[in-house]
Amino acid sequence: MSEKPVAVVFGGGGGIGSVICEKLAGAGMQVVVGYNRSAQAAEKLAASLAGGGHSARFAPVRDSAALSGLASSVEHDYRRCDAIVNCAGMTRFVKHSDLDSLDDELIDNILATNVRGAFATVRAFRPMLERSTLPGGGVVVNLSSAAGNIAIGSNVMYCASKAALDSMTKSLARALAPRIRVVSVSPALVDTEFVKSLDKVWHDEQAARTPMGRLATPDEVGTAVRAVIDTLTFTTGCIIQVDGGRTLSY
């Protein structure tokens, strides 16, 4: 068995996921960068992380059979998994009053990725997480959103998916204790490169609506995830907000 703890980050190649991978590698963990389509970016990221033993692996959260195969490969190569981070997600901007544009296909895609996918990763990796020797046990971190609380976000179903994810966090924390902790990290809008590329007036309006006067950075989200795993060892079943007080504005 590897002496260093192992974390699998689903959606690890994205703007937030990549920073989470860097934070966990910096904390001395071996990181499996899970990807769906961005194989080249994930492999480049894994090669650049501090320390050794990192890898990039195909991790489509909507394919339960593939997740079982991934868990088997991690078991074979590392002999352990101490933490998983559910950072994979999808959405599309649809005005909340435009019910017709939020069609069944989009609804199903959002729920299958953001909710069912997060559940499926836990189901696949539960046996290894239960054997973790980390203080506080194995850890599941679900990347949620303030949208799940304030019901303001890219579309109605995205907001609903994050509310469901937070509820699932609480249910799983109760069901899997004491061997596995489950926590949601819930940022408001995060200032990724994609967000910075959007309309500046809209961007600045979002920052102005936040009591701290700016958006969260990916680094701040990554720091919160790392803290849940290696510092907050008696924390489970809760939603940790990284939102600059945004939810206080509604």
Query: Distance (Å, rounded) from C-alpha 134 to C-alpha 44?
Result: 28
Domain extents in the chain? 6-241
pLDDT at position 82: 98
Tokens standing for residue 49? 């992380």
* Residue ranges with strand state E in the chain: 6-10, 30-35, 55-58, 83-86, 138-143, 180-187, 239-242
The pTM for the full model equals: 0.95
Could you tell me the fold of the domain covering 6-241? Answer: Rossmann fold (3.40.50)
Q: Which residues are catalytic?
A: 158
What pLDDT is stored for residue 1 in this prediction? 60
Mean pLDDT by 10 residues, the chain (250 residues): 90 95 98 95 97 97 98 98 97 97 98 98 98 97 96 96 98 98 95 83 86 92 98 98 87
